[in-house]
Amino acid sequence: MSDFSSSDREVIRFLFSQPNWVDLYELHMQFGLSPAQIIDMLERLITLGFAERQGAQARLTQHGRDWTVAARNKIFLDTDRKAWRPSSDQLLADGLEFSTPYMPDLSLVDRKFFVQLALAKRSNNDKD
């Protein structure tokens, strides 16, 4: 497994943190993943010999635990992947392509401005 989605990473991290069997429903509740997402991820881990399943419970095998430790940088610190929401700092520094999706750095957004804007809009609608 070389490409890990964020849900893959969370499931691997969670299974690694648990020494015993984990109820699959717990993964659903913990991460809001669909049963299909959980089963798909788990089946890939089982095929590689990294996990095992018993009914509605799963756990990493010892081989899977060893693999997680050995591949931890590639799994959890994959810095080569492109962010799908670059910050404004990245846009200015990296000169991203025109077609790259943009999401502003929300910590820089003036919340009061938008609250006042919404309140003013609501009062204008009440006058009509």
Q: Does domain 6-76 have CATH number 3.40.1170.10?
A: no
Tens of pLDDT, residue by residue over 54-101, are 988 999 999 999 988 888 887 777 545 454 555 666 656 666 566 766
Q: Whole-prediction pTM value?
A: 0.56
Q: What was the pLDDT predicted at 115?
A: 72
User: Taking the domains of the chain in order of start, what are their residue ranges?
Assistant: 6-76, 88-127
Q: What is the pLDDT of residues 1-33, one digit of tens each?
A: 556 777 778 888 889 888 899 998 888 888 888
Q: Backbone phi, then psi, for 56, in 5-degree steps?
A: -100, 25
Residue 79: per-residue pLDDT? 47
Q: How far apart are CA 77 and CA 70, in angstroms?
A: 12
pLDDT band of 105, cuts 50, 70, 90: low
